[in-house]
Amino acid sequence: MDAISVIRTKRDRGELSPEQIDWVIDAYTRGEVADEQMSALAMAILLNGMNRTEIARWTAAMIASGERMDFGALSRPTTDKHSTGGVGDKITLPLAPLVAACGAAVPQLSGRGLGHTGGTLDKLESIPGWRAHISNAEMLDVLDTTGAVICAAGDGLAPADKKLYALRDVTGTVEAIPLIASSIMSKKIAEGTGALVLDVKVGSGAFMKTIEDARELASTMVALGTDSGVRTVALLTDMSTPLGLTAGNALEVRESVEVLAGGGPKDVIDLTLALAREMLDAAGLKDADPEKALADGSAMDVWRRMISAQGGDPDAELPVAREQHVISAPSSGVLTRLDAYDVGVAAWRLGAGRARKEDPVQAGAGVELHAKPGDTVAEGQPLMTLHTDTPEKFEYALKALPGSYDIAPAGTPFTATPVVRERIA
Protein backbone atom coordinates (compact mmCIF):
# COMPACT_ATOMS: atom_id res chain seq x y z
CA MET A 1 0.00 0.00 0.00
CA ASP A 2 1.04 3.60 -0.53
CA ALA A 3 -0.67 6.91 0.19
CA ILE A 4 -0.54 8.17 -3.39
CA SER A 5 -2.55 5.25 -4.79
CA VAL A 6 -5.18 5.69 -2.06
CA ILE A 7 -5.45 9.42 -2.81
CA ARG A 8 -5.74 8.77 -6.55
CA THR A 9 -8.54 6.24 -6.04
CA LYS A 10 -10.73 8.76 -4.24
CA ARG A 11 -9.59 11.67 -6.44
CA ASP A 12 -10.83 9.73 -9.47
CA ARG A 13 -14.19 9.02 -7.75
CA GLY A 14 -13.35 5.39 -7.04
CA GLU A 15 -14.43 3.33 -4.02
CA LEU A 16 -11.73 2.75 -1.42
CA SER A 17 -11.27 -0.92 -0.59
CA PRO A 18 -11.41 -2.15 3.00
CA GLU A 19 -7.68 -2.87 2.81
CA GLN A 20 -6.91 0.66 1.60
CA ILE A 21 -8.98 2.20 4.40
CA ASP A 22 -7.49 0.02 7.13
CA TRP A 23 -3.97 0.72 5.91
CA VAL A 24 -4.26 4.49 5.49
CA ILE A 25 -5.86 5.07 8.93
CA ASP A 26 -3.28 2.88 10.66
CA ALA A 27 -0.36 4.37 8.72
CA TYR A 28 -1.51 7.93 9.41
CA THR A 29 -1.88 7.20 13.12
CA ARG A 30 1.69 5.82 13.17
CA GLY A 31 3.07 8.78 11.20
CA GLU A 32 3.87 6.83 8.03
CA VAL A 33 1.35 8.87 6.02
CA ALA A 34 2.23 12.57 6.14
CA ASP A 35 -0.22 15.35 7.03
CA GLU A 36 -0.11 16.76 3.50
CA GLN A 37 -1.06 13.35 2.07
CA MET A 38 -3.97 12.89 4.49
CA SER A 39 -5.02 16.48 3.71
CA ALA A 40 -5.24 15.58 0.02
CA LEU A 41 -7.28 12.47 0.79
CA ALA A 42 -9.63 14.42 3.10
CA MET A 43 -10.22 16.99 0.35
CA ALA A 44 -10.92 14.21 -2.17
CA ILE A 45 -13.47 12.75 0.26
CA LEU A 46 -15.06 16.19 0.73
CA LEU A 47 -15.41 16.63 -3.03
CA ASN A 48 -16.33 13.08 -4.07
CA GLY A 49 -17.97 11.57 -0.99
CA MET A 50 -18.05 8.02 0.34
CA ASN A 51 -20.70 5.31 0.18
CA ARG A 52 -22.14 3.57 3.24
CA THR A 53 -19.69 0.66 3.01
CA GLU A 54 -16.70 3.00 2.89
CA ILE A 55 -17.94 5.14 5.78
CA ALA A 56 -18.62 2.07 7.93
CA ARG A 57 -15.13 0.69 7.27
CA TRP A 58 -13.49 4.10 7.84
CA THR A 59 -15.31 4.37 11.18
CA ALA A 60 -14.28 0.84 12.18
CA ALA A 61 -10.65 1.62 11.34
CA MET A 62 -10.79 4.75 13.51
CA ILE A 63 -12.19 2.71 16.39
CA ALA A 64 -9.50 0.06 15.91
CA SER A 65 -6.78 2.70 16.28
CA GLY A 66 -7.37 2.81 20.05
CA GLU A 67 -9.11 1.30 23.04
CA ARG A 68 -12.77 0.48 23.62
CA MET A 69 -14.54 1.14 26.91
CA ASP A 70 -16.89 -1.28 28.65
CA PHE A 71 -19.70 -0.27 31.02
CA GLY A 72 -21.00 -3.81 31.46
CA ALA A 73 -20.29 -3.74 35.21
CA LEU A 74 -22.77 -0.90 35.80
CA SER A 75 -26.19 -1.76 37.21
CA ARG A 76 -27.90 0.90 35.04
CA PRO A 77 -28.43 0.92 31.27
CA THR A 78 -26.12 3.41 29.51
CA THR A 79 -27.31 6.13 27.15
CA ASP A 80 -25.51 9.12 25.68
CA LYS A 81 -26.14 12.24 23.60
CA HIS A 82 -24.00 14.02 21.03
CA SER A 83 -24.62 17.47 19.58
CA THR A 84 -23.02 18.57 16.33
CA GLY A 85 -22.44 22.00 17.89
CA GLY A 86 -24.08 25.38 17.96
CA VAL A 87 -24.42 28.72 19.71
CA GLY A 88 -25.75 28.77 23.26
CA ASP A 89 -25.97 24.97 23.17
CA LYS A 90 -25.64 24.24 26.87
CA ILE A 91 -28.08 21.32 26.74
CA THR A 92 -25.60 18.67 27.95
CA LEU A 93 -25.29 20.40 31.31
CA PRO A 94 -28.90 19.97 32.50
CA LEU A 95 -29.54 16.89 30.34
CA ALA A 96 -26.94 14.49 31.76
CA PRO A 97 -28.03 14.81 35.42
CA LEU A 98 -31.69 14.81 34.39
CA VAL A 99 -31.41 11.48 32.57
CA ALA A 100 -29.35 10.05 35.43
CA ALA A 101 -32.05 11.11 37.89
CA CYS A 102 -34.46 8.97 35.85
CA GLY A 103 -32.42 5.78 36.26
CA ALA A 104 -29.91 5.69 33.37
CA ALA A 105 -26.14 6.00 33.40
CA VAL A 106 -24.85 8.82 31.17
CA PRO A 107 -21.17 8.60 30.14
CA GLN A 108 -20.90 11.96 28.39
CA LEU A 109 -17.54 12.41 26.66
CA SER A 110 -17.46 16.03 25.54
CA GLY A 111 -15.19 18.44 23.70
CA ARG A 112 -14.02 22.02 23.59
CA GLY A 113 -15.29 24.91 21.52
CA LEU A 114 -13.66 25.93 18.29
CA GLY A 115 -14.53 29.05 16.34
CA HIS A 116 -18.11 30.24 16.79
CA THR A 117 -19.37 27.02 18.45
CA GLY A 118 -19.11 26.59 22.20
CA GLY A 119 -17.57 23.61 24.02
CA THR A 120 -19.08 21.78 26.98
CA LEU A 121 -15.73 21.33 28.74
CA ASP A 122 -14.91 25.05 28.47
CA LYS A 123 -18.25 25.85 30.08
CA LEU A 124 -17.81 23.45 32.97
CA GLU A 125 -14.24 24.58 33.60
CA SER A 126 -15.65 27.97 34.63
CA ILE A 127 -16.82 26.20 37.81
CA PRO A 128 -14.01 26.58 40.40
CA GLY A 129 -12.11 23.32 40.90
CA TRP A 130 -13.90 21.25 38.24
CA ARG A 131 -11.66 18.84 36.28
CA ALA A 132 -12.35 17.72 32.71
CA HIS A 133 -9.57 15.12 32.59
CA ILE A 134 -10.16 12.03 34.69
CA SER A 135 -8.97 8.44 34.32
CA ASN A 136 -11.17 5.64 33.03
CA ALA A 137 -11.33 4.25 36.57
CA GLU A 138 -12.47 7.62 37.94
CA MET A 139 -15.04 7.90 35.16
CA LEU A 140 -16.53 4.53 36.08
CA ASP A 141 -16.56 5.46 39.76
CA VAL A 142 -18.37 8.76 39.12
CA LEU A 143 -20.88 6.96 36.88
CA ASP A 144 -21.47 4.31 39.53
CA THR A 145 -21.96 6.80 42.37
CA THR A 146 -23.82 9.64 40.63
CA GLY A 147 -25.24 8.17 37.41
CA ALA A 148 -23.67 10.81 35.14
CA VAL A 149 -20.24 12.01 34.17
CA ILE A 150 -19.15 14.75 31.74
CA CYS A 151 -15.47 14.60 30.90
CA ALA A 152 -12.83 14.71 28.18
CA ALA A 153 -12.16 11.61 26.11
CA GLY A 154 -8.90 9.89 27.02
CA ASP A 155 -5.98 9.83 24.60
CA GLY A 156 -6.53 6.12 24.00
CA LEU A 157 -10.02 6.55 22.53
CA ALA A 158 -9.93 6.73 18.70
CA PRO A 159 -6.52 8.48 18.49
CA ALA A 160 -6.76 8.47 14.69
CA ASP A 161 -9.77 10.75 14.94
CA LYS A 162 -8.02 13.16 17.29
CA LYS A 163 -5.19 13.55 14.80
CA LEU A 164 -7.43 13.77 11.74
CA TYR A 165 -9.86 16.24 13.37
CA ALA A 166 -7.06 18.73 14.00
CA LEU A 167 -5.93 18.37 10.38
CA ARG A 168 -9.44 18.85 8.96
CA ASP A 169 -9.83 22.05 10.96
CA VAL A 170 -6.88 23.72 9.21
CA THR A 171 -7.45 22.32 5.71
CA GLY A 172 -11.03 23.38 4.98
CA THR A 173 -12.44 19.85 5.21
CA VAL A 174 -14.48 20.09 8.43
CA GLU A 175 -17.76 20.02 6.47
CA ALA A 176 -17.16 16.64 4.78
CA ILE A 177 -20.19 14.60 5.88
CA PRO A 178 -18.43 11.18 5.76
CA LEU A 179 -15.64 12.58 7.95
CA ILE A 180 -18.01 14.31 10.37
CA ALA A 181 -20.06 11.12 10.73
CA SER A 182 -17.08 8.83 11.23
CA SER A 183 -15.42 11.27 13.64
CA ILE A 184 -18.46 11.45 15.90
CA MET A 185 -19.46 7.81 15.69
CA SER A 186 -15.97 6.31 16.10
CA LYS A 187 -15.69 7.98 19.51
CA LYS A 188 -19.25 7.17 20.56
CA ILE A 189 -19.03 3.50 19.51
CA ALA A 190 -15.60 3.12 21.14
CA GLU A 191 -17.06 4.73 24.27
CA GLY A 192 -19.23 1.64 24.69
CA THR A 193 -22.61 3.22 25.41
CA GLY A 194 -25.67 1.06 24.81
CA ALA A 195 -27.82 3.79 23.24
CA LEU A 196 -27.12 7.11 21.57
CA VAL A 197 -29.25 10.14 20.72
CA LEU A 198 -27.83 12.57 18.17
CA ASP A 199 -28.72 16.25 18.26
CA VAL A 200 -27.98 17.36 14.69
CA LYS A 201 -28.13 21.14 14.44
CA VAL A 202 -29.37 22.88 11.29
CA GLY A 203 -29.28 26.60 10.51
CA SER A 204 -26.90 29.54 10.30
CA GLY A 205 -25.14 28.71 13.57
CA ALA A 206 -24.61 25.03 12.70
CA PHE A 207 -22.13 23.25 10.44
CA MET A 208 -25.13 21.94 8.49
CA LYS A 209 -26.84 25.01 7.03
CA THR A 210 -29.67 23.20 5.20
CA ILE A 211 -32.20 20.62 6.30
CA GLU A 212 -31.06 18.34 3.44
CA ASP A 213 -27.44 18.30 4.63
CA ALA A 214 -28.51 17.79 8.25
CA ARG A 215 -30.77 14.93 7.21
CA GLU A 216 -27.95 13.26 5.26
CA LEU A 217 -25.54 13.56 8.19
CA ALA A 218 -28.11 12.28 10.69
CA SER A 219 -29.08 9.32 8.49
CA THR A 220 -25.42 8.40 7.98
CA MET A 221 -24.69 8.44 11.71
CA VAL A 222 -27.85 6.54 12.63
CA ALA A 223 -26.86 3.84 10.12
CA LEU A 224 -23.32 3.66 11.55
CA GLY A 225 -24.62 3.29 15.10
CA THR A 226 -27.25 0.73 14.15
CA ASP A 227 -24.74 -1.33 12.16
CA SER A 228 -22.48 -1.39 15.24
CA GLY A 229 -25.21 -2.58 17.60
CA VAL A 230 -25.81 0.78 19.30
CA ARG A 231 -29.46 1.86 19.50
CA THR A 232 -29.27 5.21 17.71
CA VAL A 233 -31.78 7.95 16.93
CA ALA A 234 -31.31 11.53 15.72
CA LEU A 235 -33.24 14.75 16.19
CA LEU A 236 -32.73 17.58 13.73
CA THR A 237 -32.92 20.75 15.82
CA ASP A 238 -32.98 24.42 14.93
CA MET A 239 -29.81 26.51 15.17
CA SER A 240 -30.88 29.60 13.22
CA THR A 241 -31.28 31.42 16.55
CA PRO A 242 -29.06 30.91 19.65
CA LEU A 243 -30.39 28.48 22.23
CA GLY A 244 -31.50 30.21 25.39
CA LEU A 245 -30.42 33.69 26.37
CA THR A 246 -26.65 33.22 26.72
CA ALA A 247 -23.63 32.33 24.60
CA GLY A 248 -20.46 31.98 26.63
CA ASN A 249 -18.97 29.76 29.31
CA ALA A 250 -19.94 30.83 32.84
CA LEU A 251 -22.99 32.59 31.37
CA GLU A 252 -24.28 29.26 30.02
CA VAL A 253 -23.50 27.38 33.24
CA ARG A 254 -25.55 29.93 35.17
CA GLU A 255 -28.47 29.47 32.75
CA SER A 256 -28.20 25.67 32.97
CA VAL A 257 -28.45 25.81 36.76
CA GLU A 258 -31.58 27.97 36.36
CA VAL A 259 -33.11 25.20 34.24
CA LEU A 260 -32.25 22.57 36.86
CA ALA A 261 -33.80 24.83 39.50
CA GLY A 262 -37.10 24.88 37.61
CA GLY A 263 -36.68 28.07 35.56
CA GLY A 264 -34.72 29.02 32.47
CA PRO A 265 -35.68 29.77 28.85
CA LYS A 266 -38.45 27.73 27.25
CA ASP A 267 -36.42 26.58 24.24
CA VAL A 268 -33.68 25.16 26.48
CA ILE A 269 -36.25 23.36 28.65
CA ASP A 270 -38.14 22.00 25.64
CA LEU A 271 -35.03 20.61 23.93
CA THR A 272 -33.65 19.19 27.18
CA LEU A 273 -36.88 17.29 27.80
CA ALA A 274 -37.18 16.12 24.17
CA LEU A 275 -33.65 14.68 24.22
CA ALA A 276 -34.15 13.19 27.69
CA ARG A 277 -37.26 11.31 26.54
CA GLU A 278 -35.38 9.94 23.53
CA MET A 279 -32.41 8.86 25.67
CA LEU A 280 -34.58 7.16 28.25
CA ASP A 281 -36.67 5.42 25.61
CA ALA A 282 -33.51 4.15 23.86
CA ALA A 283 -32.23 2.88 27.21
CA GLY A 284 -35.43 0.92 27.82
CA LEU A 285 -36.73 3.30 30.53
CA LYS A 286 -39.96 4.20 28.78
CA ASP A 287 -41.90 4.88 31.99
CA ALA A 288 -39.45 7.42 33.41
CA ASP A 289 -40.75 11.00 33.67
CA PRO A 290 -37.98 13.57 33.07
CA GLU A 291 -40.39 16.49 33.54
CA LYS A 292 -41.09 15.28 37.08
CA ALA A 293 -37.37 14.81 37.80
CA LEU A 294 -36.74 18.39 36.68
CA ALA A 295 -39.58 19.75 38.81
CA ASP A 296 -38.91 17.84 42.04
CA GLY A 297 -35.22 18.76 42.32
CA SER A 298 -33.79 15.27 41.80
CA ALA A 299 -31.96 16.37 38.63
CA MET A 300 -30.39 19.25 40.57
CA ASP A 301 -29.26 16.79 43.25
CA VAL A 302 -27.47 14.70 40.63
CA TRP A 303 -25.87 17.85 39.14
CA ARG A 304 -24.42 18.83 42.52
CA ARG A 305 -23.02 15.34 43.14
CA MET A 306 -21.65 15.13 39.58
CA ILE A 307 -19.83 18.48 39.82
CA SER A 308 -18.45 17.68 43.28
CA ALA A 309 -17.19 14.27 42.14
CA GLN A 310 -14.85 15.98 39.66
CA GLY A 311 -13.50 18.50 42.15
CA GLY A 312 -15.95 21.32 41.43
CA ASP A 313 -17.79 23.45 43.95
CA PRO A 314 -21.48 23.66 42.95
CA ASP A 315 -21.99 26.51 45.44
CA ALA A 316 -19.08 28.66 44.25
CA GLU A 317 -19.67 32.01 42.59
CA LEU A 318 -19.17 31.76 38.83
CA PRO A 319 -16.74 34.16 37.13
CA VAL A 320 -18.15 37.46 35.87
CA ALA A 321 -16.46 39.46 33.12
CA ARG A 322 -14.95 42.78 34.20
CA GLU A 323 -16.44 44.80 31.34
CA GLN A 324 -19.88 45.00 29.69
CA HIS A 325 -21.23 46.78 26.62
CA VAL A 326 -24.98 47.10 25.95
CA ILE A 327 -26.50 47.06 22.45
CA SER A 328 -29.91 48.75 22.36
CA ALA A 329 -32.78 48.42 19.92
CA PRO A 330 -32.57 51.13 17.23
CA SER A 331 -36.37 51.13 16.80
CA SER A 332 -39.59 49.76 18.27
CA GLY A 333 -41.36 46.71 16.88
CA VAL A 334 -41.13 42.91 16.73
CA LEU A 335 -37.78 41.16 16.73
CA THR A 336 -38.17 38.77 13.81
CA ARG A 337 -34.61 37.44 13.38
CA LEU A 338 -31.55 36.95 15.58
CA ASP A 339 -28.75 35.18 13.72
CA ALA A 340 -27.04 32.41 15.66
CA TYR A 341 -23.81 32.52 13.66
CA ASP A 342 -23.31 36.27 14.18
CA VAL A 343 -23.93 35.99 17.93
CA GLY A 344 -21.53 33.04 18.10
CA VAL A 345 -18.81 34.98 16.27
CA ALA A 346 -19.28 37.93 18.62
CA ALA A 347 -18.98 35.65 21.69
CA TRP A 348 -15.88 34.05 20.20
CA ARG A 349 -14.26 37.44 19.54
CA LEU A 350 -15.03 38.57 23.09
CA GLY A 351 -12.91 35.68 24.39
CA ALA A 352 -15.49 32.92 24.95
CA GLY A 353 -14.04 30.78 22.14
CA ARG A 354 -10.77 30.00 20.45
CA ALA A 355 -9.31 30.06 16.95
CA ARG A 356 -6.94 27.18 17.73
CA LYS A 357 -7.29 24.33 20.20
CA GLU A 358 -4.31 25.66 22.19
CA ASP A 359 -5.84 29.11 22.75
CA PRO A 360 -7.15 30.02 26.25
CA VAL A 361 -10.73 31.15 26.80
CA GLN A 362 -12.24 33.65 29.20
CA ALA A 363 -14.69 32.09 31.64
CA GLY A 364 -16.88 35.20 31.89
CA ALA A 365 -16.87 36.32 28.26
CA GLY A 366 -19.86 36.01 25.95
CA VAL A 367 -23.17 37.49 24.86
CA GLU A 368 -26.29 37.83 27.01
CA LEU A 369 -29.56 38.20 25.07
CA HIS A 370 -32.47 40.29 26.36
CA ALA A 371 -34.93 39.42 23.59
CA LYS A 372 -35.60 36.53 21.23
CA PRO A 373 -37.45 36.41 17.88
CA GLY A 374 -41.14 37.01 18.44
CA ASP A 375 -40.59 39.44 21.33
CA THR A 376 -41.81 43.04 21.16
CA VAL A 377 -39.03 45.55 21.78
CA ALA A 378 -38.99 49.31 22.36
CA GLU A 379 -36.49 51.78 20.94
CA GLY A 380 -33.57 52.11 23.34
CA GLN A 381 -34.36 48.81 25.09
CA PRO A 382 -31.30 46.56 25.61
CA LEU A 383 -31.14 43.80 22.98
CA MET A 384 -27.94 42.18 24.16
CA THR A 385 -25.05 42.72 26.54
CA LEU A 386 -21.48 41.87 25.57
CA HIS A 387 -19.18 40.56 28.33
CA THR A 388 -15.37 40.43 28.32
CA ASP A 389 -12.33 40.98 30.53
CA THR A 390 -10.57 42.81 27.69
CA PRO A 391 -12.56 45.87 26.54
CA GLU A 392 -10.40 46.30 23.43
CA LYS A 393 -12.27 43.25 22.08
CA PHE A 394 -15.60 45.10 21.96
CA GLU A 395 -14.84 46.84 18.67
CA TYR A 396 -13.98 43.56 16.91
CA ALA A 397 -17.03 41.78 18.36
CA LEU A 398 -19.39 44.59 17.38
CA LYS A 399 -18.39 44.21 13.73
CA ALA A 400 -20.14 40.80 13.72
CA LEU A 401 -23.49 42.17 14.90
CA PRO A 402 -24.87 45.04 12.73
CA GLY A 403 -26.75 42.66 10.41
CA SER A 404 -27.48 40.04 13.04
CA TYR A 405 -31.11 40.98 13.77
CA ASP A 406 -34.26 42.40 12.16
CA ILE A 407 -36.97 44.47 13.83
CA ALA A 408 -40.30 44.67 11.98
CA PRO A 409 -43.14 47.15 12.68
CA ALA A 410 -45.33 46.41 15.69
CA GLY A 411 -48.09 43.94 14.90
CA THR A 412 -46.07 42.07 12.25
CA PRO A 413 -47.09 38.38 12.39
CA PHE A 414 -44.33 36.04 13.57
CA THR A 415 -44.19 32.23 13.46
CA ALA A 416 -41.40 30.61 15.44
CA THR A 417 -39.42 27.72 13.99
CA PRO A 418 -39.93 24.63 16.18
CA VAL A 419 -36.88 23.61 18.21
CA VAL A 420 -37.16 19.99 17.01
CA ARG A 421 -37.65 19.87 13.25
CA GLU A 422 -37.40 16.15 12.42
CA ARG A 423 -36.71 12.76 13.97
CA ILE A 424 -34.62 10.11 12.20
CA ALA A 425 -34.41 6.56 13.46
Catalytic center residues: 82, 161, 168, 183, 187
Using CB atoms within 10 Å of the CB of residue 416, give its burial: 0 to 12 exposed, 13 to 18 middle, 19+ buried: exposed
Output the CA–CA distances (angstroms, integers) from residue 178 to 38, 49, 181, in the order listed. Answer: 15, 7, 5
Phi, psi (5° rounding) for residue 16? -70, 135
Bridge partners of residue 293, in order along the sequence: none
Using CB atoms within 10 Å of the CB of residue 201, give its burial: 0 to 12 exposed, 13 to 18 middle, 19+ buried: buried
- Nearest alpha carbon to residue 278 among 72, 102, 87: 102
List the end-to-end C-alpha distance of the chain, in Å, as a whole number: 38
Output the CA–CA distances (angstroms, integers) from residue 309 to 95, 146, 171, 302, 414, in the order listed. Answer: 17, 8, 39, 10, 45
> Which distant-in-sequence residues (6+ apart) come within 8 Å of 90 by Cβ?
118, 120, 123, 243, 244, 246, 252, 253, 255, 256, 268
Task: Measure the CA angle with vertex 39, ends 36 and 42; round to 5°.
Answer: 155
Output the CA–CA distances (angstroms, integers) from residue 368 to 81, 324, 365, in the order listed. Answer: 26, 10, 10
Rounded (10°) angle between helices 298-309 and 92-101: 110
- Output DSSP code: residue 393: G
d(CA 229, CA 107): 17
Query: Coil, strand, or helix at residue 368?
Result: strand
Bridge partners of residue 335, in order along the sequence: 407
d(CA 201, CA 198): 9
H-assigned helices in 12-118? 18-30, 35-48, 52-64, 92-101
